[in-house]
Amino acid sequence: MKTTLFLILLSLGVATAQSQTSFYDFTVKTLEGEPFELSSLRGKKVMVVNTASKCGLTPQYEQLQAIYEQYGGDDFEIIGFPANNFMNQEPGTAEEIAEFCQLNYGVTFPMMEKISVKGDDQHPLYQWLTQKSKNGVTESKVQWNFQKYLIGPDGRLEKVIPPKTKPDDSEIIDWITSGANE
Protein backbone atom coordinates (compact mmCIF):
# COMPACT_ATOMS: atom_id res chain seq x y z
CA MET A 1 0.00 0.00 0.00
CA LYS A 2 2.80 2.45 0.92
CA THR A 3 4.62 1.59 -2.31
CA THR A 4 1.51 2.29 -4.40
CA LEU A 5 0.91 5.61 -2.64
CA PHE A 6 4.58 6.56 -3.10
CA LEU A 7 4.43 5.75 -6.83
CA ILE A 8 1.25 7.80 -7.26
CA LEU A 9 2.77 10.78 -5.45
CA LEU A 10 6.01 10.40 -7.42
CA SER A 11 4.17 10.36 -10.75
CA LEU A 12 2.15 13.43 -9.75
CA GLY A 13 5.39 15.20 -8.84
CA VAL A 14 6.94 14.33 -12.20
CA ALA A 15 3.86 15.55 -14.09
CA THR A 16 3.83 18.80 -12.12
CA ALA A 17 7.54 19.36 -12.65
CA GLN A 18 7.18 18.85 -16.41
CA SER A 19 4.34 21.37 -16.72
CA GLN A 20 6.28 23.94 -14.70
CA THR A 21 9.29 24.04 -17.00
CA SER A 22 10.30 27.64 -17.39
CA PHE A 23 11.28 29.59 -20.47
CA TYR A 24 14.59 30.07 -18.66
CA ASP A 25 15.37 26.34 -18.76
CA PHE A 26 16.19 26.46 -22.47
CA THR A 27 19.48 27.10 -24.23
CA VAL A 28 19.28 27.95 -27.93
CA LYS A 29 21.92 28.90 -30.49
CA THR A 30 22.49 32.27 -32.09
CA LEU A 31 22.77 32.72 -35.86
CA GLU A 32 26.52 32.58 -35.29
CA GLY A 33 26.15 29.14 -33.66
CA GLU A 34 26.93 30.30 -30.12
CA PRO A 35 24.91 28.98 -27.16
CA PHE A 36 22.41 31.49 -25.77
CA GLU A 37 20.97 30.69 -22.36
CA LEU A 38 17.48 32.08 -22.03
CA SER A 39 18.14 32.25 -18.27
CA SER A 40 20.28 35.31 -19.11
CA LEU A 41 16.97 37.10 -19.76
CA ARG A 42 15.56 36.41 -16.29
CA GLY A 43 13.61 39.41 -15.03
CA LYS A 44 12.93 40.81 -18.52
CA LYS A 45 9.80 40.70 -20.62
CA VAL A 46 10.64 38.83 -23.82
CA MET A 47 8.97 38.68 -27.21
CA VAL A 48 9.76 35.49 -29.11
CA VAL A 49 8.95 35.74 -32.81
CA ASN A 50 9.43 33.28 -35.66
CA THR A 51 10.70 35.15 -38.71
CA ALA A 52 11.13 34.68 -42.45
CA SER A 53 12.89 36.76 -45.11
CA LYS A 54 10.56 36.07 -48.04
CA CYS A 55 7.14 36.51 -46.44
CA GLY A 56 4.47 39.13 -46.95
CA LEU A 57 4.85 39.91 -43.24
CA THR A 58 8.65 40.37 -43.46
CA PRO A 59 8.30 44.19 -43.20
CA GLN A 60 7.40 43.55 -39.53
CA TYR A 61 11.17 43.43 -38.99
CA GLU A 62 11.02 47.24 -39.25
CA GLN A 63 8.51 47.56 -36.39
CA LEU A 64 10.33 44.92 -34.34
CA GLN A 65 13.55 46.90 -34.65
CA ALA A 66 11.78 50.18 -33.81
CA ILE A 67 10.23 48.84 -30.60
CA TYR A 68 13.54 47.18 -29.72
CA GLU A 69 15.29 50.53 -30.07
CA GLN A 70 12.63 52.24 -27.97
CA TYR A 71 12.02 49.63 -25.24
CA GLY A 72 14.84 47.09 -25.44
CA GLY A 73 17.37 46.95 -22.66
CA ASP A 74 17.15 46.07 -18.98
CA ASP A 75 13.41 45.32 -19.00
CA PHE A 76 12.55 44.04 -22.49
CA GLU A 77 14.12 41.82 -25.16
CA ILE A 78 13.12 40.50 -28.57
CA ILE A 79 14.43 37.19 -29.86
CA GLY A 80 13.94 36.22 -33.50
CA PHE A 81 13.88 32.62 -34.66
CA PRO A 82 14.09 32.21 -38.44
CA ALA A 83 11.94 29.29 -39.55
CA ASN A 84 11.29 27.73 -42.93
CA ASN A 85 8.00 26.05 -42.00
CA PHE A 86 5.69 28.09 -44.21
CA MET A 87 5.99 27.82 -48.00
CA ASN A 88 9.82 27.83 -48.00
CA GLN A 89 9.87 31.52 -46.99
CA GLU A 90 13.16 31.27 -45.07
CA PRO A 91 15.46 29.22 -47.31
CA GLY A 92 18.68 31.06 -46.45
CA THR A 93 21.75 30.04 -44.50
CA ALA A 94 22.56 31.67 -41.17
CA GLU A 95 24.93 34.08 -42.94
CA GLU A 96 22.33 35.01 -45.56
CA ILE A 97 19.66 35.57 -42.89
CA ALA A 98 21.97 37.78 -40.81
CA GLU A 99 22.97 39.81 -43.87
CA PHE A 100 19.34 40.20 -44.99
CA CYS A 101 18.20 41.38 -41.54
CA GLN A 102 21.05 43.84 -41.16
CA LEU A 103 21.04 45.28 -44.68
CA ASN A 104 17.28 45.58 -45.11
CA TYR A 105 16.07 46.36 -41.59
CA GLY A 106 19.10 47.19 -39.45
CA VAL A 107 18.16 44.42 -37.02
CA THR A 108 20.15 44.59 -33.79
CA PHE A 109 17.96 42.39 -31.55
CA PRO A 110 19.24 38.83 -31.06
CA MET A 111 18.56 36.45 -33.92
CA MET A 112 18.83 32.75 -33.23
CA GLU A 113 19.60 29.84 -35.53
CA LYS A 114 16.97 28.66 -37.97
CA ILE A 115 14.66 26.15 -36.31
CA SER A 116 11.39 24.35 -36.94
CA VAL A 117 8.43 25.91 -35.15
CA LYS A 118 5.92 23.17 -35.96
CA GLY A 119 5.68 19.56 -37.06
CA ASP A 120 7.58 16.42 -36.09
CA ASP A 121 10.89 18.28 -35.83
CA GLN A 122 9.51 21.19 -33.78
CA HIS A 123 12.21 22.76 -31.61
CA PRO A 124 11.78 22.02 -27.85
CA LEU A 125 11.32 25.74 -27.09
CA TYR A 126 8.40 25.91 -29.51
CA GLN A 127 6.98 22.72 -28.01
CA TRP A 128 6.99 24.58 -24.69
CA LEU A 129 5.48 27.72 -26.24
CA THR A 130 2.64 25.85 -27.97
CA GLN A 131 1.70 23.07 -25.52
CA LYS A 132 -0.29 23.83 -22.38
CA SER A 133 1.01 20.59 -20.87
CA LYS A 134 4.49 22.13 -21.00
CA ASN A 135 3.92 25.88 -20.49
CA GLY A 136 1.03 25.51 -18.02
CA VAL A 137 -0.89 28.41 -19.58
CA THR A 138 -2.36 27.82 -23.03
CA GLU A 139 -2.39 25.63 -26.09
CA SER A 140 -1.54 27.36 -29.38
CA LYS A 141 -0.52 26.60 -32.91
CA VAL A 142 2.04 28.60 -34.86
CA GLN A 143 -0.21 29.94 -37.61
CA TRP A 144 2.41 31.58 -39.82
CA ASN A 145 5.64 33.59 -39.80
CA PHE A 146 5.84 36.45 -37.29
CA GLN A 147 3.66 34.93 -34.58
CA LYS A 148 4.63 36.51 -31.29
CA TYR A 149 4.92 34.87 -27.87
CA LEU A 150 5.13 37.24 -24.92
CA ILE A 151 7.02 35.94 -21.91
CA GLY A 152 6.76 37.65 -18.53
CA PRO A 153 9.75 38.53 -16.36
CA ASP A 154 9.08 35.36 -14.33
CA GLY A 155 9.59 33.15 -17.41
CA ARG A 156 5.91 32.34 -17.83
CA LEU A 157 4.07 32.58 -21.13
CA GLU A 158 1.65 35.49 -20.90
CA LYS A 159 0.23 36.08 -24.40
CA VAL A 160 0.19 34.69 -27.90
CA ILE A 161 -0.14 37.34 -30.61
CA PRO A 162 -1.23 36.37 -34.14
CA PRO A 163 1.18 36.85 -37.07
CA LYS A 164 -0.75 39.67 -38.75
CA THR A 165 -0.81 41.77 -35.57
CA LYS A 166 1.99 44.27 -36.03
CA PRO A 167 4.71 44.42 -33.37
CA ASP A 168 3.84 48.06 -32.60
CA ASP A 169 0.16 47.25 -31.97
CA SER A 170 -1.17 48.93 -28.82
CA GLU A 171 -1.83 45.54 -27.15
CA ILE A 172 1.88 44.69 -27.41
CA ILE A 173 3.12 48.17 -26.46
CA ASP A 174 0.77 48.22 -23.45
CA TRP A 175 2.14 44.82 -22.39
CA ILE A 176 5.74 46.00 -22.75
CA THR A 177 5.16 49.20 -20.81
CA SER A 178 2.79 47.93 -18.11
CA GLY A 179 4.10 44.46 -17.37
CA ALA A 180 0.75 43.46 -15.90
CA ASN A 181 -0.41 39.88 -16.32
CA GLU A 182 -3.88 39.51 -17.68
Alpha-helical regions (H) of the chain: 2-19, 60-71, 94-105, 124-130, 132-135, 170-178
Domains defined along the chain, listed by start: 42-177 (3.40.30.10)
Nearest to 148 by CA among 164, 131, 132, 137: 164
Per-residue pLDDT of the chain (182 residues; tens, 9 = 90+): 555 544 444 444 444 444 447 899 999 999 999 999 999 999 999 999 999 999 999 999 999 999 999 999 999 999 999 999 999 999 999 999 999 999 999 999 999 999 999 999 999 999 999 999 999 999 999 999 999 999 999 999 999 999 999 999 999 999 999 854 44
Residues identified as active-site: 55
Tens digits of per-residue pLDDT, 61-77?
999 999 999 999 999 99
Residue 21 is predicted with a pLDDT of 79
Cβ atoms within 10 Å of 50's Cβ, excluding its own: 29
